[in-house]
Amino acid sequence: MRCPNCNSKDIGKIGSHQFYCWGCFIELTVNGDKMSVFQVEEDGTLSSLDDLFFEDEIPQVHAN
């Protein structure tokens, strides 16, 4: 899997369907073939970045 933001392959698994990009420090949630992207705020909360990455299309997830 590659980060949709920085294209890094340096992705760590933090949960059963959750990943973290060490290249740009965003969190990814993958559920089937749907991906959601979040920014981790200073207080630990997550802010969705889906509106910046995905319009009406469903992002494709490719596990490598």
Higher pLDDT, 59 or 7: 7
According to DSSP, residue 50 is labeled H
Cα–Cα distance, 32 to 24 (Å, whole number): 23
Q: Is residue 32 part of a domain?
A: yes
Boundaries of domain holding 15: 11-51
pTM of the model: 0.74
User: Considering the domain boundaries, does residue 42 fall inside one?
Assistant: yes
**What is the edge-to-edge ordering of all strands in the sheet holding 26-31?**
11-13, 18-21, 26-31, 34-40, 46-48
* Residue 46 backbone class (left: φ over 0; alpha: ψ -120 to 50; beta: rest): beta
Is 45 within a domain? yes
| Residue 59 counted as domain residue | no
Residue 27 lies in a domain: yes
State the alpha helices, DSSP H only, in 1-64.
50-53
In a domain, 62, yes or no: no
List, for residues 3-32, the tens digit of each pLDDT value: 989 999 999 999 999 999 999 999 999 998
Please report whether residue 2 resides in a domain.
Answer: no
Per the structure, the count of domains in the chain is 1
Query: Is 60 contained in some domain?
Result: no
